[in-house]
Amino acid sequence: MNRDIQEFKSEFFKALAHPLRIRILEVLSEGDRNVNEIQAIIGSEGSAVSQQLAVLRNKNVVSGTKDGTSVVYSLRDPLIKDLLKVAKQIFDNHLVDAISMLENIRKE
One-character DSSP codes across 57-81? HHTTSEEEEEETTEEEEEES-THHH
**Would the pLDDT of 97 be above 80?**
no
pLDDT the model gives residue 51: 95
Q: How far apart are alpha carbons 78 and 81 in whole angstroms?
A: 6
Q: Could you report how far apart the first and last alpha carbons of the chain are, in Å?
A: 45
Q: How far apart are alpha carbons 51 and 108 in whole angstroms?
A: 49
CATH 1.10.10.10 is right for the domain spanning 3-76: yes
Instruction: List % helix, strand, coil for the chain (3-state, nearest 5).
Output: 70, 15, 20
Read off the pTM: 0.82
Q: What is the DSSP code (8-state) at residue 17?
A: -
Q: How far apart are alpha carbons 36 and 63 in whole angstroms?
A: 16
Per-domain residue ranges of the chain: 3-76
**Would the pLDDT of 84 be above 80?**
yes
Give the residue-averaged pLDDT of 74-98: 89
66-79, pLDDT tens digit by residue?
Answer: 989 999 999 999 99
